[in-house]
């Protein structure tokens, strides 16, 4: 059963959502994520909630929010009840539900990890309860070859056998291969989409897993929104925030959404440990992520090993970051794959001498088990 659209969520939608129903976007100046964040914090400080912006005493509260958003602008946005009702009708016919950060059903993992940066609204289709189950985030290139697609599918099936969900971005290539592997294995999959939720919710291949509650598709963007690079970049952090660990199967070196999302996770957010597929030959994408603190995926064989890995997925991200920071003190701005000397496997020669190996406490066992 789809969650009820609460009064708080209705107000947040009127303030922030474009309502892309095929009739064009609202001409009103919607609140940006940063503007809504300030307004939400202000309301919290007043011990009020979004739904209080309508009904008795609303005029006084609108004036009290002037320091965040002009009262006239808020009033115009709150007059979008009719386009909201049209959009809601459209979403319901497609089994799309909507929840907001003000709702009890909003995923705790997003609130706990992203805090005020958690999306104000989430649109979704399928089993909402899956979003707080955790699992393995499997990500990679849209243009991966057959061998890597088979690898991702195998990881998905292994996750299913262990009773753990696969999380991904739902894009073609590695994302879809991993999710399909989990579903083919009778398991669960979570797709965090950057665009086209409405189309995905109606796709024939998703019908059975959605109906049997083994799949949930979710997006912070309007169900009718098309692809935008910025949306894809922002979506990455949600995938990692919902997971217990991440596995990068393939990535270009220093470019693309997979690389950007993994580096952001390794060097800034540190929500979960990030693994990479064991590099084969001159695989600069995998080697580059290793140099930034990613761990080598240990290729768990069978359910017990996989369960043990996700239950204790590696050293805390803070220790990984500390080790990488210490290595950078030796190497300056030049990054090298841990354990790989310059000039090997296509790694460029440095401008500084290659440092002696890090102490065991900072490398090797602290990062993974291959000394």
Residues with Cβ within 8 Å of residue 53, at least 6 apart in sequence: 11, 43, 61, 62, 65, 74, 78
pTM for this one? 0.84
pLDDT in tens, 192-216: 999 999 999 999 999 999 999 999 9
Average pLDDT over residues 20-49: 84
SS3 state of residue 151: helix
Q: Across the chain, what does the average pLDDT equal?
A: 85
Question: Cα 182 from chain centroid?
Answer: 18
Q: Does the pLDDT value for residue 63 go beyond 70?
A: yes
Q: Does the pLDDT value for residue 348 go beyond 80?
A: no
* b/e map 188-223, b = 16+ CB within 10 Å: bbbbbbbbbbbebbeeeebeebbeeebbbbbbbbbb
Rg of the chain over Cα atoms, rounded to whole angstroms, equals 22
Which residue did the predictor score with more confidence, 348 or 24?
A: 24
pLDDT in tens, 223-272: 999 999 889 888 999 999 999 999 999 999 999 999 999 999 999 999 99
Which residue did the predictor score with more confidence, 356 or 180?
A: 180
| C-alpha closest to that of 133 among 160, 171, 101, 99 | 160
pLDDT in tens, 90-145: 999 999 999 999 999 999 999 999 999 999 999 999 999 999 999 999 999 999 99
d(CA 361, CA 156): 33
Q: What is the CATH number of domain 128-366?
A: 3.40.50.450
DSSP structure class, residue 269: I
Average pLDDT over residues 21-47: 84
Which two three-digit tokens encode residue 357?
Answer: 């190996």
Q: In this structure, are strands 295-296 and 189-192 parallel, antiparallel, or unpaired?
A: unpaired
Q: Does the pLDDT value for residue 345 go beyond 90?
A: no
Domains of the chain, by residue range, sit at: 7-93, 128-366
Which residue did the predictor score with more confidence, 109 or 330?
A: 109
d(CA 99, CA 124): 8
């Amino acid at each position: 059963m789809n969650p009820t659209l609460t009064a708080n969520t209705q107000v947040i939608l009127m303030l922030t959502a474009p309502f892309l129903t095929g009739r064009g976007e609202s001409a009103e100046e919607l609140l940006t994520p940063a503007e809504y964040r300030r307004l939400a914090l202000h309301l919290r400080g007043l011990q009020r909630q979004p739904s209080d912006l309508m009904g008795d005493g609303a005029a006084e509260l609108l004036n009290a929010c002037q320091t965040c958003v002009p009262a006239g602008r808020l009033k115009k946005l709150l007059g979008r009840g009719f386009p909201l009702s049209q959009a809601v009708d459209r979403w319901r016919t497609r089994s799309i539900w909507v929840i907001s950060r003000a709702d009890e059903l909003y995923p705790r993992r997003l609130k706990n990890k992203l805090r005020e940066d958690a999306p104000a609204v989430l649109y979704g289709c399928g089993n909402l309860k899956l979003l707080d189950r955790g699992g393995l985030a499997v990500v990679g290139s849209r243009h991966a070859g057959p061998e890597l697609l088979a690898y991702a599918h195998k990881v998905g099936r292994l996750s299913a056998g262990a009773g753990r969900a696969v999380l991904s971005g739902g894009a073609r290539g590695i994302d879809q291969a991993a999710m399909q592997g989990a579903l083919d294995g009778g398991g669960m999959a979570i797709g965090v989409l950057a665009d086209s939720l409405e189309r995905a919710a109606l796709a024939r291949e998703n019908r059975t897993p959605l109906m049997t509650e083994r799949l949930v598709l979710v997006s912070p963007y309007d169900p009718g929104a098309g692809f935008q690079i910025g949306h894809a970049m922002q979506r990455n952090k949600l995938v990692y925030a919902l997971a217990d660990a991440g596995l990068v199967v393939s990535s270009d070196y220093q470019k693309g959404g997979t690389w950007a999302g993994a580096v952001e996770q390794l060097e800034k957010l540190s929500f979960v440990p990030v693994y990479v597929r064991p590099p084969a030959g001159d695989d600069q994408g995998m080697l580059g992520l290793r140099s930034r603190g990613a761990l080598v995926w240990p290729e768990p064989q069978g359910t017990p090993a996989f369960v043990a890995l996700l239950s204790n997925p590696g050293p805390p991200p803070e220790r990984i970051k500390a080790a990488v920071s210490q290595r950078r003190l030796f190497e300056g701005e030049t990054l090298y794959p841990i354990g790989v000397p310059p000039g090997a496997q296509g790694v460029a020669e440095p401008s500084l001498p290659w440092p002696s190996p890090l102490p065991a406490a900072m490398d090797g066992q602290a990062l993974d088990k291959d000394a």
